[in-house]
């Protein structure tokens, strides 16, 4: 990987990832795409079975230019992936409610990423354990060094899939509501209500055994 391919680079837009409308919202640079993927705790994974699309929420983690997802070995969800079917992984961060003066211009501020690709299963033991550590550390950084690692039975019960970041695009809306000049004298509140995912106080599962570290919050999660 050269410097040009790293954070400073961009994904090539393809016919399937090129925005046809509101092109100004499209982002293809790796830094923007990676930041969205790293902040999001859940992705929505789409696959086709028969002619029916299915969209499943699941945890995931990015490492370099791959996403890892996991699930129960033999489960219907991941069995569908094992055949090398095309998938779409979409990640959405909601940033605000955009309240305009006209119904038409109501909107949301958000950052989203769409990844098109094919999943392949990671079966090599060291690579699989590494991906599992990444998944645990995503929801609480550093935690994979504290938690008991998977035993043989747990390792066998888990399937890990990787999806390469090749055909990727992001879409971002930010800022105030749009509107028509004629609506500016309307007596109505207009603006943005910022929203974000926030954490409440941790609820311990007693009995806890000391010494232990307090849980570390994942990236981008604010305190309530």
Q: 118 to 157, contacts with a copy of itself by CB under 8 A? A: 132-133, 135-136, 139-140, 143-144, 146-151, 154, 157
* 1 touching a copy of itself, by CB under 8 A: no
Residue closer to a copy of itself (CB basis): 30 or 60: 60
Distance CA 156, CA 64 (A): 25
**How far apart are CB 30 and a copy of itself at their closest, in Å?**
21
Specify the DSSP class assigned to residue 10.
B
Question: What's the number of CA atoms in the CB half-sphere (13 Å) around residue 155?
Answer: 16
- 67 Cβ neighbours under 8 A, 6+ residues apart: 37, 43, 60, 61, 89, 115, 162, 163, 165
Interaction with a copy of itself in 158-177: which residues (CB under 8 A)?
158, 176-177
Q: Which of 8, 12, 42, 219 binds a copy of itself (CB under 8 A)?
A: 42
**How far apart are CB 183 and a copy of itself at their closest, in Å?**
6
**How far apart are CB 197 and a copy of itself at their closest, in Å?**
6
Q: Which of 59, 63, 82, 164 binds a copy of itself (CB under 8 A)?
A: 59
Q: Which of 29, 38, 114, 125 binds a copy of itself (CB under 8 A)?
A: 114
DSSP letters, 23-85, are GGGEE-BHHHHHHHHHH-SEEEEEEEETTEEEEEEEEEEEETTEEEEEEETT-HHHHHHHT--
Residue closer to a copy of itself (CB basis): 126 or 210: 210
């Amino acid at each position: 990987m050269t410097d040009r391919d790293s954070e400073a680079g961009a994904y090539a837009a393809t016919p399937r990832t090129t925005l046809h409308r509101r092109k100004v919202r499209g982002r293809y640079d790796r830094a923007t795409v990676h930041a969205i993927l790293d902040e999001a705790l859940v992705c929505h994974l789409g696959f086709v079975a028969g002619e029916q699309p299915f969209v499943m929420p699941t945890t995931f983690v990015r490492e370099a230019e791959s996403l890892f997802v996991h699930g129960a070995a033999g489960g219907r969800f991941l069995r569908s992936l094992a055949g090398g079917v095309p998938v779409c992984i979409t990640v959405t961060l909601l940033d605000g409610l955009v309240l305009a003066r006209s119904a038409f211009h109501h909107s949301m501020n958000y950052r989203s990423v769409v990844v098109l690709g094919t999943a392949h299963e990671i079966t090599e033991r060291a690579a699989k354990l590494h991906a599992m550590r990444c998944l645990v550390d995503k929801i609480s950084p550093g935690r994979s060094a504290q938690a008991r690692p998977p035993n043989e039975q747990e390792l066998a019960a888990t399937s890990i899939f990787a999806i390469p970041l090749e055909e990727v695009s992001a879409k971002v809306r930010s800022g105030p509501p749009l509107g028509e000049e004629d609506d500016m004298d309307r007596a109505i509140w207009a603006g943005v209500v910022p929203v974000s995912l926030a954490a409440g106080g941790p609820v311990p599962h007693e009995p806890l055994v000391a010494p232990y570290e307090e849980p570390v919050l994942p990236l981008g999660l604010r305190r309530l």
